[in-house]
Structure 1
Amino acid sequence: MRLAGSFLWLLTTVLLGRFVSAAPTTKPKPRTLTMPIRSLHRSVDTTADPVTIYQQSIRKAQSRYQRIAQTISAKQQTDINRRYNTPVEALATFKANAQSDPNQLDVVSPVNDSANAGVSPLDIQAAISGGITPPTGPIAANSIGLGIVGPDTGYIGIVEIGTPPRQFQILMDSGSADFWVGSETCQVEGGGGCGNHQFLGSQSSSSFVASQQPFNVTYGTGNVVGNLVEDNVVLAGLSLPSHPFGVANVESSNFAQASFDGLMGLAQSGLSQQKLPTPVESLAAAGVIDQAIVAYKISRLADEKNDGEITFGGLDPTKFQSDTLVQLPNVNQQGFWEIQLDAVSVNDQNLGFVNQTAILDTGTTLFVAPPDVVNAIHAQIPGAVPSSGGFTVPCTTNASVALTIGNSSFAIDPHDIAFLPVNPNEPAGACTSGIVSSGTQSNRWLVGDVFLKNAYFATHVNDNLILLAQLS
C-alpha cells in the first residue's frame, strides 16, 4: 500500500525536504523535530556458567512473551518490557568466556566486507568493554546523530529536563507508553543508591513541581515506584513546559544498574499505566509538530556508519528509499504497534505461516516468535543447532530470513541473526541466535532490533498507522 490523502501530503512535504527551523517563534508552528539516540549496555553478572546463563535467558524470554499475551488479552498490564534480560545474559555468557582467555582479542580477525567471515571485531570488543561509539553521520537537517554503546543492544536519546536544563540519557521504547527518570531520593529495592545516573528533583531544578500522586510502572523484568511530577522537558531544542511524567523513588536492581537514566515510552498513550500523553502526543497537541509521528533509523555497529536517529513529527528522506514505503494499519487495540505479517521465508522458501502478527518494539534487542516459527526458521538455516533451550547458528551464516509485510519483503542481515559468538576467541565459530522462542504457541510475534535495524520504521498516532521502508 502507498500513502494517501492527508498523510500523502505530509510525506510529500517531508520528501521535498521542507523541514521547518527549530528556532523559537512567537507562535508555535508545525515542524519536524529530531533528537539523538545512543545505544545502551548494562552491567551483567558473569558468575554463572555459560550454559546456565543461556538457559535462563530463554526461560526469561518465554516469561516476557507470556506477559505480553496477558497484557493484551486482559487489557490491564500495559507494558512489554521483557526486553532486558535475554541480551544481557547472552552478553554475560560471552564475557564469561572472554575472561577465560585473556588473550582472546589477539586472535580476532577482521571481517571481510565482501562476505560474512564471522562476527565483527567491533561487536566483540563492544560486548567485552562496552562504551559508546560516537556518530559519524551523515546527519540530515534537524537530525542529531546516533552513538552506539555495546553491540547494538538498545538505544537511548538525550533529553534535557529541568531548570537549568540537564541532559538525561533516556531509553527510547516503542513498546511502552510511560516516561520517567530517577528522583534525587532514589533507592534501589533492598537499600542503597540507584547507581551512577542523572537524577531529578527540587534540589537540581527550580521548575520542578512535585505531587503526591503515585507513579508505579511494572515491567516484565522490574519496576519503578515514585510520584508524578511536572517539569520542563526539551527535545532537540523544542520545549514541553511543565510536562507531566514520573520520578522513581524506588527502582528494581536492573534499572539501578542500567546505563540509562530513565525511559520514554513511545507507544500510544492508551497503553500508559499513568494515563498520560506521551511526549510526541504532547508536541503534536501543542502544535510544535504537525502530526504525532515518530520515525526510527536503527544503526548497526559493525557497519561503521553510525547514522542512526529518531525523528519526531515526520520522516527523514535521506534514510530510506521513498518508492518502497508501505503504510500499514495498526491491528492492536491497546496501544502497541502491531502489524499483519504476510509471510516469513528463509532463503526465498516460504515457510507457510499465515494469520501472524508482529509487535514492533525498539526496546527489545532480539526477534521473539512462537516455537513452531522459530523451529521452522532454524530448520532452514544450515548449521543451526538446538542449544540450551535456544539455537546456535554459524557465525558465518549467510542465511536470508525475510518477512513479507504489505506485499514488500524485508530481509534480516545475517550479521543480526548471529548475535554473538559463544566463544569470543572463535568469531567464525558458533553464535547464539538472535531469533528466540517465546515458549508459547500463538500467532503473535515480538520483533525487536534484530529486524528493525534492517528497515526504516515509523509510527503515526493520529492515523493509527505504521510505516516501513527499505533503507537507503
Structure 2
Amino acid sequence: MQLTLPFAVLLTTILALYSVSEVDAHPLAKARAPNGRITLPLKRVVRRTDVHPEVYLQQHLNRAHRRYARMTGREEPSTEALTRALEKRVASIEARGLQVRSGRLGYAAQGMTSSALVNVAEPGKGKNKGNGTAAAAGAAGAAAGAGAATAAGAGAATAAGTGAAAAAAAGTAAASGANTGNAGFPAASAQAAASNSLAQANTPTTANSVGLDIEANDVSYVSTVQLGTPPKNFNVIMDSGSADFWVAGDNCQTCAGHQLLGASTSSSFVDTQQPFSVTYGSGNVQGNIVTDTLTLAGLTLTNHTFGTATAESAQFAQDPNSDGLMGLAQSTLSSQGVLTPVESLAQQGLISNAITSFKISRLADQKNDGEVTFGALDTTKFDSTTLVTLNNVNTQGFWEVNVGGFSVNGQDVGLAGRTAIMDTGTTLIIAPPADAQALMSAVPGAQSDGQGGFTVPCTTNATIALTLGGTTFNVDPRDLAFLPTTNNLAGNCVAGVSSGQIGGATEWLVGDVFLKNAYFSTDVAKNQISFAKLI
C-alpha cells in the first residue's frame, strides 16, 4: 500500500529508527555452571536521528572503508576522499529536492559546506535520544490511524515537534494494517522507531542466559558488565571486529554523561600508567592501561587488565548509551597487548573454552530472543544438524572464513574464492565493487545509486545467500531492504549490501545484515568459526 504522506513526515519516522530510551538489562548473577557457559545481555546502540537515510548509509560506507583498510594493513582512504564521497551523496539528494537533515534541526542541505560535511563523514556510535513527545504520539497514532497523521500535517514535520508527526505516521501504517510481511517496510518497525521503543527480551529458558533487548529497528548491540569495587554497571559495545576492552575513565575530560571508572570510584582500581590508543573506523580513544575487577554474568575476574579512556573522539563521547567497547576478536589484534575478557575467563578456568557465541535478534520476528554467550554455544538457538565449523583464515586476529559461493534466489552468481570477515560491529555487508555489482545485478529491481550503494524494492522477496562449509545461509529479504528512500514504504529501499574498495579484490566485510540470519560462534583455542541455521 502506498502512503501519500509528506516526505518530511516519513523521513522523520525513518530517522527515528536511531533513537532510544535507556533501558537496563542486567546480567543474571549465577555461579559457575557445569557446562562452562555464561551469557551476557545485549542492547541496541542509539544511532543518528538527524540525517537523511542515504547520508547515514554513506557514513556507514566511509566507516567500513577505513575499518577494512586497517583490518588488511592497507592505506586508509583520506578524509578528503571520504568527504568527497559524502558530498556526492548530498548532491544526489539535493537534486531530488530532498532534505539532508531533518527539519527539527533547522536547516537543509542547501548551503552546507565541506567543513560541515566532514563532521558527518562517518557515523557516530550513538547520538541524541528522541523526546518523550514522539513516544506518546506513537501510541496515539496507532490508535487514531489516518486521522492522527492528517492532523500532524506537513508543517509539523518541519517544526520542533517533528517526532510527534513521524510517530503518528507510523501509527497510521500500523492501524491500517499496511506494509506488513512482504508488502513493504514493516509498519511495526516504523512504529517502534518513531516511538523510540526498546523491545525487551523474553526471559531466557536456557541456563546461564540473559536476554537481549532490541532498540528500535535492529541497530547495534551493547552489553552490561560490572567493574570496580563496589561494582558498577557499564554498558559496552560488543564488537567481534576488534580486540581491546576499555571504558570511560574518571579523569576523562570528554566523557561527560558516561559511567566513569577510576581510583575515585573503585577501591580495587590500579593505574599502570602505561598508555594505549585505539583508532576505529568511527572514532578513536586514548587512555591508560589499568587493572580492576570485572564481572561477567556473575563470574568475576580479579585484576583484569584493560583500558580506561582519558580522551574520546566525538563519536564515543556523544554516545549516551555506551560507556566503552569490548573487542571480541583475538588478542593478537589488541593495541593494549592483553587478553580479551573471554580469553581471561578461559585462562582462569571460569569457562571451559574461549568461545563467544552470538544470537542477534530481529524486531520484525517478535521473538526477542537475542543473546551473547561466553564459553559454549546455546543449542536451543539453532538447528544442530546444520552446524558447520570453518578454520579462521586471518592471521592478524580477525574472524575471517572462506566463502564457498554467493547466490540470489538459489542461482549462483559466479563469485568463487572469496573470504569474509565477520564483524558484529558493522551493520551492512560491504563487498568489492565488481562483486557487489555481480550480486546485486541478480536481484530483481535492484539499481545502483552511482555512489557505491544500491536500492531494492521495499517489497523485495529476493533472497541472497552465502555458502559456508557447504551449507547455504540465506539473508532474509527484510534485511536486504535496509531503509526506505521516499515517503512510500512500499517503494524503494536502500539495500543492505554496498560496494567499496576497502581491501583485496576477493575480501568482503560481513556485518549484521547477514549475522542476524545465522548463529555465529568463535573459538580462540581452535582458531575456528562456527555457523548454524537459527530455529
TM-score by length of 1: 0.84
Contact 2:48 2:123 in 1 (8 A): no
1:300 to 2:362 alignment: yes
Residue number among 409, 420, 431 corresponding to 2:493 in the alignment: 431
Give the match for residue 402 of structure 1: 465
Give the match for residue 200 of structure 1: 261
CA distance in 2, matches of 1:360, 1:98: 42
Distance 1:97 1:35, change over 3 A: farther
Give the match for residue 354 of structure 1: 416
Contact 2:171 2:191 in 1 (8 A): no
Residue number among 428, 453, 467 corresponding to 1:366 in the alignment: 428
Give the match for residue 104 of structure 1: 169
Distance 1:387 1:458, change over 3 A: same
Distance 1:186 1:127, change over 3 A: farther
Show the 5 A alignment for 1:97-136. 99-100=157-158, 102=165, 103-109=168-174, 110=177, 115-136=181-202
Matched residue of 2:529: which SS?
Answer: strand
1:219 to 2:280 alignment: yes
Distance 1:276 1:63, change over 3 A: closer
1:33 to 2:38 alignment: yes
1:184 to 2:250 alignment: yes
Matched residue of 1:410: which SS?
Answer: strand
The structure where helix makes up a greater share of residues is 2
Shift of 1:376: 1.5
Shift of 1:181: 0.3
Percent identity over paired residues = 50
Shift of 1:140: 1.3
Give the match for residue 519 of structure 2: 456
1:319 to 2:381 alignment: yes
Residue number among 19, 23, 48 corresponding to 2:31 in the alignment: 23
Q: Give unpaired runs (5+ residues) of structure 1.
A: 1-20, 74-83, 189-193
Matched residue of 2:250: which SS?
Answer: strand
CA distance in 1, matches of 2:391, 2:338: 23
Matched residue of 1:310: which SS?
Answer: strand
CA distance in 1, matches of 2:228, 2:267: 7
Shift of 1:35: 1.2
1:69 to 2:135 alignment: no
1:209 to 2:270 alignment: yes
- 1:127-155 C-alpha deviation (Å, 9 max, x unpaired): 44534221124431110000012321111
CA distance in 2, matches of 1:263, 1:98: 38
- 1:316-357 C-alpha deviation (Å, 9 max, x unpaired): 110000111011000111100000000000011101111100
The structure where strand makes up a greater share of residues is 1
Q: Could you tell which deviates more after superposition, 383-392 or 31-40?
A: 383-392
Give the match for residue 112 of structure 2: none
- 1:293-329 C-alpha deviation (Å, 9 max, x unpaired): 1111000011111100111111111000011101100
- 1:236-281 C-alpha deviation (Å, 9 max, x unpaired): 0000011011000100000012221110001000000111000000
Q: Which structure exhibits the higher relative contact order, with contacts defined as CA atoms closer than 8 Å and separated by 6 or more residues?
A: 1
Matched residue of 1:66: which SS?
Answer: helix
CA distance in 2, matches of 1:431, 1:33: 38
1:151 to 2:212 alignment: no
Paired AA for residue 245 in structure 1: F
Give the match for residue 18 of structure 1: none
RMSD over aligned CA atoms reads 2.9
Matched residue of 2:526: which SS?
Answer: coil
1:252 to 2:321 alignment: no
1:172 to 2:231 alignment: no
Contact 2:124 2:282 in 1 (8 A): no
Matched residue of 1:331: which SS?
Answer: coil
Shift of 1:71: 5.8
Paired AA for residue 295 in structure 2: V
Q: How many residues align?
A: 428
Matched residue of 1:184: which SS?
Answer: coil
Runs of 4+, deviation exceeding 6 Å: 95-98
Shift of 1:195: 4.0
- 1:82-131 C-alpha deviation (Å, 9 max, x unpaired): xx946979x99xx9999457353243244676x41112223323444534
Contact 1:159 1:236 in 2 (8 A): yes
Contact 2:480 2:496 in 1 (8 A): yes
CA distance in 2, matches of 1:97, 1:38: 34
CA distance in 1, matches of 2:332, 2:156: 44
CA distance in 1, matches of 2:155, 2:209: 39
Give the match for residue 293 of structure 2: 232
1:266 to 2:344 alignment: no
Distance 1:37 1:60, change over 3 A: closer
Shift of 1:58: 3.7
Shift of 1:68: 2.9
Give the match for residue 282 of structure 1: 344
Shift of 1:466: 0.4
Distance 1:316 1:353, change over 3 A: same
CA distance in 1, matches of 2:448, 2:238: 33
Contact 1:174 1:361 in 2 (8 A): yes
Distance 1:99 1:204, change over 3 A: farther
Distance 1:51 1:234, change over 3 A: closer
Contact 1:213 1:228 in 2 (8 A): yes
Paired AA for residue 330 in structure 1: N
Distance 1:53 1:290, change over 3 A: closer
Contact 1:51 1:388 in 2 (8 A): no
Shift of 1:457: 0.6
Shift of 1:196: 2.3
CA distance in 2, matches of 1:317, 1:72: 41
CA distance in 1, matches of 2:370, 2:155: 30
Distance 1:256 1:88, change over 3 A: closer
- 1:26-78 C-alpha deviation (Å, 9 max, x unpaired): xx9772111111111134543xx6665555554444344333332699xxxxx
Matched residue of 2:249: which SS?
Answer: strand
Distance 1:438 1:149, change over 3 A: same
Q: Give unpaired runs (5+ residues) of structure 2.
A: 1-28, 77-120, 135-153
Q: Could you tell which deviates more after superposition, 337-346 or 194-203?
A: 194-203
CA distance in 2, matches of 1:137, 1:112: 29
Give the match for residue 421 of structure 1: 484
Paired AA for residue 247 in structure 2: V
Paired AA for residue 251 in structure 1: E
Contact 1:345 1:351 in 2 (8 A): yes
Contact 1:397 1:418 in 2 (8 A): yes
Shift of 1:388: 5.2
